Each structure stands twice: as C-alpha cells, then as structure tokens.
C-alpha cells in the first residue's frame, strides 16, 4: 500500500504507511522515518515514529511544505526495499495481574465501562473468547510484544503482540476515558498493549501493574541513570506474571537501587518471524534464559 501524505497545519507532515496495524506497516514506517533522519533535510526539527505512521515537524520558514513533501515522497521507494531486519533488545517485565490498585480504579470508573458488572479482565477475556481470566492472562504473558511506538505521555510504550492476527487480543477503549490511571498500569486498547508511565488520564482496559518504573525524571532509578525514558521503538517485551509477594519484593528492590530488568540484545528479522512465529518467539525468549 502506498503511503498517504497529509499536512498537520503549516508545521507538520503526517505520513500514514497503512491505515491498519501490522508489523509490515510498522517496519515501513520506521524505515521511512530513519530514511528521513539520514537524509538530513533542511528545516526538519523532529521526527516522531508511530505504529503504522510517522510525523515530521518542520519549519516552513526554512523549507516550503511542498518541497519537503517532494523530498519525503522520494524516500518511500527506498524504504520499501529496505531489509526488515533490526538489532534490538528483549526485556522481561514482571506484571502483577489483577492487582488491588487497578482494581480499585476500575471500580471507581465503572459507569464509563462497556460492562459495568464485571472487571476489565473479565470483559477482555470474554470478548476475546477465553473461558477463564487465567487463560486470558496466560495468552497475554505467553508471547512477546513489539514496542511499535513510544509516546502519548512521557515514555509510554505502545506494544503489538507478536502472534498471528487471529490470536491478537483486541478490546475497545473505555466508553469515556478515565481521569485517573495508576502509574505503571498494564493496559490494552484496540490491538495495543501499553504501560502507563505516569499517573493520569487513560482509556485503555486495565489488566495489572508492573513494579518496574519506565520513566524517571529524577534519573535516580538504577537502570534510568543514562536517560529518563526506558523504551525505544523496536524493543521486544516479555511479561512475567508475579504475585503480591513478588510485586512487593520488586518494589523494594527498585527503591534500594538493586532492581535489574533482564535485558538482552537480539536481532529481529521480520521474514523469519513470519515463517514460524511461535518458533521464532521461542528463540527470542531463549535469549532471556541464557541460551
């Protein structure tokens, strides 16, 4: 599908590689965004990759919008031919599913939900065809996720689960967004999972919470000293379910500066992945377990 180009006012060019989500669209968008960055076109001030699209901020005093459009369009062909391969990292993130804090919050905003009588997990499990919440949690934690966008608020990852489309978890967003979401809530909306990096408004269904901070403006968290934002597009995430004791222990470890998330460098090849999704995922996860 050819990309769609449109202007956001006089300072933004918006490029939609596909109107539906897929890893192919993500790779094309990331590859075009990279091509734009490398081309160092005068007047471009920011490049923001998203799931299946990206946005360029530019200064129209330095480059005419039509000239920018022409230069970016010229990059599309090369991006389509680029190898869908990247070196990235896989990280294991503990999740306390069905925790008391998101539960308290979802009860507080129940009148904004599609199904006010149950919980977000009950609802998501049922509409995705799982008989029991525990089976749904197994599916959520059972396959890795690709970070396909970082944003919304500071450092929040949007994640796309690495399974066939039929197995993708899909849930609607809340009927009306909440005004509150606990920090580090693991949520889901449309086909995307997320981790809320800070406390605030949100519309995704809430499934659990992680003890692992992913944004720290004070940069005092042991693994965020170099930069306050943990995630980058292309990161691969594997969730590991933990219980209350595991959660409390991890929070204490974070506070004492001794929490170290397992992170390993891996290479990802979209074609190999597509040829054998489960086999490829098992190989990726192997990196987390030392083989």
Partner 1 sequence: MAIKVLHHGLSTTVQDLGRPGYFHLGIPVGGAMDRYAMRAANRLVGNDEGAAGLEAVFMGPKLEFLDDALIAVTGADLPVRIDGELRPGWTALKVRAGQTVSFDFLKSGARICIAVSGGIDVPEALGSRSTYVIGALGGYKGRAIAAGDELPVGAGPMASEGKSVAEELRRQPGMPAELRVLPGLYWDRLTEAAKSNFFADQWKVAPEADRMGYRFRGGRKLEFVERKQPFGAGSDPSNIVDSCYPYGSIQVPGGTEPIILHRDAVSGGGYFMLGTVISADMDLIAQLQPHTPTQFVEVTMDQALAARADRQTLLSRLRAALS
Which residues sit at the interface with partner 1, rule CB under 8 A?
6-12, 14, 16, 18-22, 45-55, 57, 60-61, 65, 149-156, 158, 160, 165, 168, 170, 172-173, 177, 189-192, 197-198, 200, 215, 217, 228-229
Q: Of 231 and 239, which CB lies nearer to partner 1 in the complex structure?
A: 231
Instruction: Report the nearest approach of partner 1 to the CB of residue 205 (Å).
Output: 11
* Residue 222 host element (H or E): none
Question: What one-character-per-residue DSSP string does 4-65 give?
Answer: EEEEETTTEEEEES-SS--HHHHHHHHHHHHHHHHHT-TTEEEEEE-SSEEEEEE-TTTS-H
Q: Of 103 and 154, which CB lies nearer to partner 1 in the complex structure?
A: 154
Which token pair is 57?
């901020």
Instruction: Report the nearest approach of partner 1 to the CB of residue 12 (Å).
Output: 4
Instruction: Report the nearest approach of partner 1 to the CB of residue 57 (Å).
Output: 7
Q: Of 7 and 101, which CB lies nearer to partner 1 in the complex structure?
A: 7
Instruction: Report the nearest approach of partner 1 to the CB of residue 197 (Å).
Output: 7
Residue 39, CA distances (Å) to 15, 35, 49, 144, 175 in order: 16, 6, 16, 33, 42
Cα 114 from Cα 106, distance rounded (Å)? 12
Q: Of 29 and 98, which CB lies nearer to partner 1 in the complex structure?
A: 29
Instruction: Report the nearest approach of partner 1 to the CB of residue 245 (Å).
Output: 29
Instruction: Report the nearest approach of partner 1 to the CB of residue 82 (Å).
Output: 19
Instruction: Report the nearest approach of partner 1 to the CB of residue 87 (Å).
Output: 19
Q: Of 91 and 287, which CB lies nearer to partner 1 in the complex structure?
A: 91
Residue 28, CA distances (Å) to 4, 18, 78, 150, 231 in order: 13, 9, 10, 17, 20
Q: Of 20 and 245, which CB lies nearer to partner 1 in the complex structure?
A: 20
Count of CB atoms situated within 10 Å of the CB of 218: 8
Q: Of 274 and 279, which CB lies nearer to partner 1 in the complex structure?
A: 274
Q: Are 254 and 93 in contact (CB under 8 A)?
A: no
Question: What one-character-per-residue DSSP string does 77-136 give?
Answer: HHHHHS--EEEEEEEEEEEEET-HHHHHHHHHTGGGSS-TTS-HHHHHHHHTT-SSHHHH
């Amino acid at each position: 599908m050819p990309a769609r180009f449109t202007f956001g006012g006089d300072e933004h060019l918006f490029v939609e590689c596909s109107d539906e989500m897929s890893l192919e669209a993500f790779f094309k968008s990331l590859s075009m965004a990279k091509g734009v960055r490398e081309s160092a076109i005068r007047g471009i001030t920011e490049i923001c990759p998203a799931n299946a699209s990206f946005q360029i901020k530019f200064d129209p005093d330095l480059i005419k919008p039509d000239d920018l459009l022409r230069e970016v369009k010229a990059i599309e062909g090369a991006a389509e031919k680029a190898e869908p391969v990247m070196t990235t990292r896989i990280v294991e993130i503990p999740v306390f599913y069905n925790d008391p804090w998101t539960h308290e919050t979802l009860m507080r905003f129940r009148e904004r939900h599609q199904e006010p009588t149950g919980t977000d997990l009950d609802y998501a499990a049922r509409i995705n065809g799982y008989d029991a919440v525990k089976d749904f949690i197994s599916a959520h934690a059972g396959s890795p996720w690709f970070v396909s966008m970082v944003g919304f608020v500071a450092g929040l990852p949007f994640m796309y689960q690495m399974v066939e489309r039929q197995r993708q978890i899909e849930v609607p967003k809340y009927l009306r967004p909440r005004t509150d979401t606990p920090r580090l809530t693991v949520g889901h909306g449309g086909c995307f999972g997320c981790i809320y990096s800070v406390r605030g408004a949100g519309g995704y269904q809430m499934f659990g919470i992680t003890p692992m901070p992913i944004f720290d403006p004070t940069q005092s968290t042991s693994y965020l000293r170099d930069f306050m934002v943990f995630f980058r597009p292309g990161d691969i995430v594997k969730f590991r379910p933990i219980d209350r004791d595991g959660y409390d222990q991890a929070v204490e470890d974070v506070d004492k500066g001794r929490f170290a998330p397992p992170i390993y460098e891996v290479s990802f090849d979209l074609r190999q992945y597509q040829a054998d999704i489960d086999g490829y995922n098992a190989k990726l996860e192997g990196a987390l377990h030392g083989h």
